Amino acid sequence: KSWTAEDEAIIATNTDATECKRCAVELGYWKDDYISLFIRHADRKAPEINRGYYARVRAMEMFIHQFLERCGTKCQIINLGCGYDTLYWRLKDTTQAVGNFIELDFPSVTSKKCHIIKRNKKLLQKITNEDGEVMIREGDLHSDGYHLLGCDLRCLAEVRRKLGAAGADARVPALVLAECVLVYLRPDAADALLRHLADTFPRLALVQYEQCNLGDKFGEVMVRNLAARGCVLVGERLCREPAAQAESLLALGFQHARAWDMEAVWRALPEDDRARVEALEMLDERELLLQLNLHYALTVASRGDMFADMDLNA
């Protein structure tokens, strides 16, 4: 399959995100022993970018922990557009390692991730079969409890096939992560994917982080930036307010959905966390950070009663 220039631009957004995360980790925003293994170098980013990434990573983590609290380790995580996310390894270092962890991204991203994993003992030793081996099949990495699969999320048939090959199990509670990913799919493709997941897993939680409120002046600039990154179609989806984003998930088959802009998420973080992070770097552009926060949203949607109470302050 050949990829368009737009696809290439989308694929490059992973490098961008990984660099930003590495930079923030180096500055002490949060701890991640693995991110530097995936990217050699990261230029220093502006303080508002670092702080934005902190809130993003912290918010995703908060809900991942809520999910795990509710279902223990007998569960599965499906990481859509995983890029070089290190969550699998970070969880392995806790008592919260999950039964099956499945990562999907374009083959050009997953093959590079696979290559990096294979040549790094620190990464590889946390991924093994009983015989100490990992298996590469059709370019995908399979092991007991970790699967890294090349797949175009716009192609539902491929997603289904890959999830099947990775042992995704409809009887087991599932957490789907979509961190800055669905924005790169056409709205109809994103909807079809979410509807499929909601149809498949009766006990499901989705945690999604992406742009919102893009209809205003500040949003216009973000839209231009997104277009340069291969996001061809900034539809109505991203112009919506967080509450409307949540509501649209109900229409796709989720039973509960809540969303907050990142300013609300930031204010809901424990005060000592915020104070620690605020002390790391001087922030001149307070107004810019506020605008950025108002244009990103965290959405949590679920099926089945066990996740109905997942909330910012739960």
Which residues are documented as binding site?
56, 81, 152-153, 179
What angle separates helix 47-71 from helix 5-26, to the nearest 10 degrees?
90
CB nearer to ligand SAM: pick between 77 and 256: 77
The nearest distance, CB 178 to ligand SAM, in angstroms, is 8
Q: In what order do the strands lie in the sheet with 146-150?
A: 135-137, 140-143, 146-150, 100-105, 76-80, 174-179, 204-211, 296-303, 256-261
Q: Which residue in the block uniquely carries the two structure tokens 């609290």?
A: 69
Q: Are 284 and 74 in contact (CB under 8 A)?
A: no
Assess 277 for contact with ligand SAM (CB under 6 A): no
Per-residue HEC secondary structure of 130-180 comes to: CCCCCEEECCEEEECCEEEEECCCCCHHHHHHHHHHCCCCCCCCEEEEEEC
Calpha distance 30→33 (Å, rounded): 10
Shortest distance (Å) from residue 193 CB to ligand SAM: 9
Give the tokens for residue 52. 């934005």
Residue 81 touching ligand SAM (CB under 6 A): yes
Cα 192 to Cα 52, 154, 240, 251, 304, distances in angstroms: 29, 9, 19, 12, 20
Among 153, 194, 212, 238, binds ligand SAM (CB under 6 A): 153
CB of 202 to ligand SAM, least distance (A): 25
- Which range of residues in 76-84, 137-145, 199-207, 296-304 is near ligand SAM by CB under 6 A? 76-84
Q: Indicate the residue among 183 and 257 with the shorter CB distance to ligand SAM.
A: 183
- Residue 271 Cβ vs ligand SAM, minimum distance, rounded to whole Å: 26
Minimal distance, residue 314 CB to ligand SAM, in Å? 23
Residue ranges in 10-49 that form contacts with ligand SAM under rule CB under 6 A: 10-11, 13-14, 17
Would you give the DSSP letter of residue 304? S
Minimum separation from the CB atom of position 79 to ligand SAM (A): 7
Interface with ligand SAM (CB under 6 A), residue from 102, 181, 292, 301: 181
Taking CB under 6 A as the criterion, which residues in 91-120 touch ligand SAM? 105-106, 109
Buried b vs exposed e over 194-231: b needs ≥16 C-beta within 10 Å?
A: bbbbbebbebbbbbbbbbbbbeeebbeebbeebeeebb
Our finding on whether 152 is near ligand SAM (CB under 6 A) is yes
CB of 106 to ligand SAM, least distance (A): 5
Among 154, 160, 196, 258, binds ligand SAM (CB under 6 A): 154
Partners of 105 in beta bridges: 150
CB 10 to ligand SAM: min, Å: 5
Does residue 140 interact with ligand SAM by CB under 6 A?
no
Q: How many Å apart are CA 108 and CA 168, to the nearest integer? A: 22
CA distance 83 to 104: 8
Question: Which residue, 1 or 121, is less far from ligand SAM as judged by CB?
Answer: 1
Cα–Cα distances (Å) from 85 to 112, 235, 247, 249, 313, in that order, read: 13, 26, 28, 24, 25
| CA-closest candidate to residue 53, choices 9, 23, 81 | 23
Site residues (CB under 6 A) for ligand SAM, limited to 184-213: 184-185
For ligand SAM, which is the closer residue by CB, 20 or 75?
20
**CB closer to ligand SAM, 64 vs 109:** 109
Q: How many residues bind ligand SAM (CB under 6 A)?
A: 20
Q: Look up residue 272 and give its two tokens.
A: 């000592």
Residue ranges in contact with ligand SAM by CB under 6 A: 10-11, 13-14, 17, 81-83, 85, 105-106, 109, 152-154, 179-181, 184-185
